[in-house]
Chains A and B, each alone.
Chain A
Amino acid sequence: MIRIVIGVLAAAFAVVAHSDAAAPRVSRVPQPEVKIERGGVCVAPTAEMRRDHMKMLDHQRDRTVRSGLRESRFSLKNCVDCHASGATGSVLGNDGFCSSCHAYASVKIDCFECHSPLRQGKVAGAPR
């Protein structure tokens, strides 16, 4: 009898725990509103880009400045060309691709103190 009761309780607990884990976190935590105007394939999977984009940029900047390697794949110019807003042509501003998420995360970026945040004309440039 005791075994049956324990079994029922364990099953009930498992169901509750499962439903808790499956509940969408979106409803409880405010999410950043990132406007991705040009969907599709980036230079790496989305999860990797969200976690490691700064490492890619850091690596590429040293290659470019120090060695003169101007590969476009991880270049900041390539990022901006693809992700700049259609309305403002910039990755900054209220709905800017970079600034919206960085404002949410409260992480200050100083890339654009020196670099241009504006798209350089080429819109069709897909990740290479």
Chain B
Amino acid sequence: MSIERRQFLAWGAVAVAGAALAPGFRLVELALARSPQEAASVLQRWGMLIDITRCIDCDVCVTACHEENGVSGHGRPATDPQWIRKVDLRDRHTGHAQTLPLMCQHCADPPCVDVCPTGASFRRDDGIVLVDKHTCIGCRYCVLACPYGARSFVHEATSGQKADVPRGKGTVESCTLCVHRVDRDETPACVEACNLDGGKAMAFGDLNDPSAEIYRRLRAEPSSQIRADLALDTGVRYQGL
């Protein structure tokens, strides 16, 4: 009897030692699935890598974004909200044309947060830049401050909002990096659509996680930031620009 008990204790000790010796596995597990009771962490920095050489002449990212977030216009392009848009570039001398998706770049030092008078514009601990619409007064300073023109003002009453994406008249909004999907451990709608129906140009991941593909690619391959001269340390990076 006592031998069995001793053997049992030994197995227990081996199991405990195993768990202590392989903490990496446990950490990876935790990093993959954040529970609803766990706050966004500074250990993570969500970001995107967009390979423009693979970006084709389509707009599935724009359609998917606006579908996912319930962003609908009133047929008035000048004032309708826009969370992501396709930008066409053409070299005047050579005629070389490129197209790329442009949205909130989720800067580490966001100018929109600096200018917000109420603290509504904020950067979440994991690097996602958001508008807290409960405190937004609609002054639109952030719209002017953003060098990427990424923010929109909701001019008209909205209806048919998605349950996960509240939107309303009188507030400013922009790309949330699909924060409701990221919190469920999914990728943003634009990335998913691009890899499904588009040119497979977009990748999403944790810029701080050495095991993430985006981390490896950013480390090994050349990439650039739009308006790098502003030193905003953007979370969205481009290749082939």
Contacts and interface: CB of A to CB of B under 8 A. Distances in A.
A69 interface: yes
A117 to B, nearest CB: 9
A88 to B, nearest CB: 15
B79 to A, nearest CB: 18
Interface string A37-70: 0000000000000000000000001100111111
B163 A66 contact: no
Contacts of B166: 114-116
A97 B122 CA distance: 33
B132 A65 contact: yes
B163 A116 contact: yes
A115 B161 contact: yes
Interface string A83-123: 00000000000000000000000000000011110101000
| Number of chain A interface residues as a range | 10 to 19
Contacts of B134: 61-62, 65
A71 interface: yes
Contacts of B58: none
A94 to B, nearest CB: 18
A68 B183 contact: yes
Contacts of A62: 134
B162 interface: yes
Contacts of B171: 114
B162 A113 contact: no
A67 B37 CA distance: 10
A68 B37 contact: no
Interface stretch (B5-13, B86-94, B123-131): B123-131
A4 B34 CA distance: 77
Contacts of A80: 163
Interface in B138-168: 157-158, 160-163, 166-168
Given A69-B37, A69-B39, 18 more contacts: A62-B134, A67-B40, A67-B124, A68-B124, A68-B126, A68-B183, A69-B36, A70-B36, A70-B183, A114-B133, A114-B167, A114-B171, A115-B163, A115-B166, A116-B161, A116-B162, A116-B163, A120-B163
